[in-house]
């Protein structure tokens, strides 16, 4: 409980060889910084070979490293170096679909979902059109929930399950301490392919897959962590805790940073999660506008309030790279857009500025326009957001196992008890008070 998980988007984290693409050696070079910050685990977005139609979320080999990011040796070194600093390394598993360039798509067509005609009304998340693509060679349609270059695997096929059981062991044997599971709610589809999105995702049989994976994880000590990208409503979230250690709470993430919206969501989350489950809070990732923009509109005081909340609620927390310096979305001109989604997700994927000059990034793959908020300046400034975040991370360790209790306060002030600590968060732009304690606009205090 109380872990601080740091999401690295490796292409934009740190570049070790000046080719404009962040890489695993770059991540390793920043481990001292992440240890200084108080990070317990790094979750890296996909590191596997990929044609990059969806920037690594289209995997062509689950047992290797993308050459642009480094080598297997680099990954082994990163894991070992992180270990010496008590930091775990989690990878991002993409089991819903492969790349159409994965060997399986040619050699093992039975691993995928086929139909002689378009069997239902399912739509692709990326194209908005039918999720069924005609394969002229095979004269059959295949399913793709995402891009046509991302054919969905058939999780009813026991051989697919066997492949992934081996893939899990392969990485756990190498010291990988966890996985974030992409589209965890969508792996298995209705066996009759019935109409309706409820037959494409959130099928109850998905929990059997995770039961098997959890059994594999239990073969290892310490047991690796399984964290699902569970893009479901809060009401539908509890069952995912049967077999996953962590299930991402998108109702929290997708809410606005408003007292009236967030407090009920937090209270509902804590009331509905099964006993013993670890809640998990985050506001940014590689798919959604960064919290400093989306929740704080660029206002650094407001960003600190958001960070304070994420870091003082019970359970684990995820910071997406850059959150710790209140990094805003990047500006990406139309002719630099690289993402296939609409709207494109490039703004939240721009490089992390380590210095004000930005010279550590030479012709980066996505533009680095604004270095006003950068790591170097903020490390040197005791009053920076970075030092604020580090301080809250250190403080949270003192009450990480304590439960949460909402306290009465005035409108806009979120007051809660964590053990013998009281957290006060002014979620307004005005000065506020709580039992004689004055709170500046957006100020968070641990008493």
54 binds, among Ca ion, ligand TEU, none (CB under 5 to 8 A by kind): ligand TEU
For ligand TEU, the closer CB: 11 or 286: 286
R_g over Cα of the chain = 22
15 binds, among Ca ion, ligand TEU, none (CB under 5 to 8 A by kind): Ca ion
Active site residue 229: yes
For position 21 contacting Ca ion by CB under 5 A, the verdict is yes
Task: With beta carbons less than 8 A apart as the criterion, state whether 246 and 229 touch.
Answer: no
Q: Where are the alpha helices (DSSP H) in 98-228?
A: 103-107, 158-173, 206-217
For position 341 contacting ligand TEU by CB under 6 A, the verdict is yes
For position 149 contacting ligand TEU by CB under 6 A, the verdict is no
11: left (phi over 0), alpha (psi -120 to 50) or beta: alpha
- Which span sits near Ca ion by CB under 5 A: 17-25, 29-37, 174-182, 346-354? 17-25
For position 19 contacting Ca ion by CB under 5 A, the verdict is yes
For position 53 contacting ligand TEU by CB under 6 A, the verdict is no
For position 154 contacting Ca ion by CB under 5 A, the verdict is no
Q: Which of 74, 154, 229, 329 is catalytic?
A: 229
Give the nearest distance from C-beta 21 to Ca ion in angstroms.
4
Preceding peptide of 343 cis, ω within 30°: yes
Give the nearest distance from C-beta 287 to ligand TEU in angstroms.
4
For Ca ion, the closer CB: 46 or 95: 46
Of 267, 181, 260, which is closest to residue 228 (Cα–Cα)? 181
Side-chain half-sphere CA neighbours of 335 within 13 A: 0
Active site residue 182: yes
Q: Pick from 14, 15, 88, 442 the residue near Ca ion by CB under 5 A.
A: 15
**Residue carrying structure tokens 């995820």:** 318
Restricting to residues 112-141, name those near ligand TEU by CB under 6 A: 125
Distance CA 190, CA 354 (A): 47
User: CA triplet 76, 78, 80: central angle to 5 degrees?
Assistant: 70
Task: With beta carbons less than 8 A apart as the criterion, state whether 294 and 428 touch.
Answer: no
For position 17 contacting Ca ion by CB under 5 A, the verdict is yes
Q: Pick from 146, 240, 388, 442 the residue near ligand TEU by CB under 6 A.
A: 146
For position 260 contacting Ca ion by CB under 5 A, the verdict is no
19 binds, among ligand TEU, Ca ion, none (CB under 5 to 8 A by kind): Ca ion
Restricting to residues 285-304, name those near ligand TEU by CB under 6 A: 286-287
Give the nearest distance from C-beta 248 to ligand TEU in angstroms.
10
For position 57 contacting ligand TEU by CB under 6 A, the verdict is yes
Binding pattern for the stretch 383-422 against ligand TEU, x by CB under 6 A and - elsewhere: ----------------------------------------
Side-chain half-sphere CA neighbours of 102 within 13 A: 29
> 222-241 burial string, b = 16+ CB within 10 Å, else e?
eebbbbbbbbbeeeebebbb
Q: Where are the alpha helices (DSSP H) in 59-157?
A: 72-83, 103-107
Distance CA 7, CA 321 (A): 6
For ligand TEU, the closer CB: 127 or 398: 127
Of 111, 25, 98, 101, which is closest to residue 62 (Cα–Cα)? 98
Restricting to residues 154-193, name those near ligand TEU by CB under 6 A: 182-183
Instruction: Give first-to-last CA distance, the chain, whole Å.
Output: 21
Side-chain half-sphere CA neighbours of 323 within 13 A: 34
Q: Which of 182, 323, 348, 360 is catalytic?
A: 182
23 binds, among Ca ion, ligand TEU, none (CB under 5 to 8 A by kind): Ca ion
Distance CA 131, CA 312 (A): 41
- Which span sits near Ca ion by CB under 5 A: 18-26, 121-129, 216-224, 363-371? 18-26
For position 94 contacting ligand TEU by CB under 6 A, the verdict is yes
For ligand TEU, the closer CB: 55 or 132: 55
Give the nearest distance from C-beta 244 to ligand TEU in angstroms.
16
Q: Is the dihedral of CA 328, 319, 237, 267 positive or negative?
A: negative
Q: What are 186's strand-pairing partners?
A: none
Residues with a catalytic annotation lie at 182, 229
The site for Ca ion (CB under 5 A) is made up of 15, 17, 19, 21, 23
The site for ligand TEU (CB under 6 A) is made up of 54, 57, 94, 125, 146, 182-183, 229, 231, 286-287, 341
């Amino acid at each position: 409980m109380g872990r601080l998980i740091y999401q690295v988007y490796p292409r934009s984290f740190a570049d070790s060889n000046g080719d404009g693409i962040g890489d695993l050696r770059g991540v390793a070079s920043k481990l001292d910084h992440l240890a200084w910050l108080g990070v317990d685990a790094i979750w890296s977005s996909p590191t596997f070979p990929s044609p990059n139609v969806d920037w690594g979320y289209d995997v062509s080999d689950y047992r290797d490293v993308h050459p642009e990011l480094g080598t297997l040796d680099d990954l082994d070194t990163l894991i070992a170096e992180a270990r010496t600093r008590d930091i775990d390394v989690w990878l991002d598993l993409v089991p819903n679909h492969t790349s159409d360039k994965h060997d399986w798509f040619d050699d093992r067509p039975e691993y995928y979902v086929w139909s002689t005609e378009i069997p239902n009304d399912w739509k692709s998340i990326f194209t908005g059109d039918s999720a069924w693509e005609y394969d002229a060679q095979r004269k059959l349609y295949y399913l793709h929930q995402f891009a046509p270059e991302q054919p969905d695997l058939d999780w009813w096929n026991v051989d697919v399950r066997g492949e992934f059981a081996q893939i899990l062991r392969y990485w756990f044997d190498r010291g990988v301490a966890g996985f974030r599971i992409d589209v965890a709610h969508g792996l298995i589809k209705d066996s009759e392919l019935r109409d309706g999105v409820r037959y494409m995702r959130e099928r109850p049989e998905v929990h059997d897959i995770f039961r098997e994976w959890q059994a594999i994880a239990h073969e290892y000590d310490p047991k690796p962590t399984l964290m699902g990208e569970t893009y479901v409503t809060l009401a539908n979230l509890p069952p995912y805790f049967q077999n996953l250690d962590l299930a991402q709470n998108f109702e929290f993430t997708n809410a606005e940073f408003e007292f009236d919206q967030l407090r009920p969501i937090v209270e509902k989350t804590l009331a509905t999660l099964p006993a013993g489950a670890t809640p998990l809070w985050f506001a940014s990732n590689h798919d959604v506008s960064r919290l400093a923009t989306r929740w704080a509109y660029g206002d650094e005081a407001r960003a600190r309030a958001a960070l304070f909340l994420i870091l003082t609620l019970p359970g684990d927390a995820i910071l997406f790279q850059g959150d710790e310096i209140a990094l805003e979305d990047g500006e990406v001109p139309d002719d630099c857009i690289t993402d296939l989604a609409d709207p494109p997700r490039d703004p939240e994927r721009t490089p992390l500025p380590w210095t004000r000059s930005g010279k550590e990034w030479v012709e980066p793959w996505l533009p680095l326009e604004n270095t006003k908020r950068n790591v170097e300046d903020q490390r040197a400034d005791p009053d920076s957001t970075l030092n604020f975040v580090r301080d809250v991370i250190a403080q949270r360790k003192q009450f990480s196992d304590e439960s949460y209790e909402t306290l009465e306060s005035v409108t806009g002030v979120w007051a809660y008890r964590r053990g013998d600590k009281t957290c006060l968060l002014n979620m307004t732009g005005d000065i506020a008070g709580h039992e004689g304690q004055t709170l500046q606009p957006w100020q968070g205090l641990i008493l």
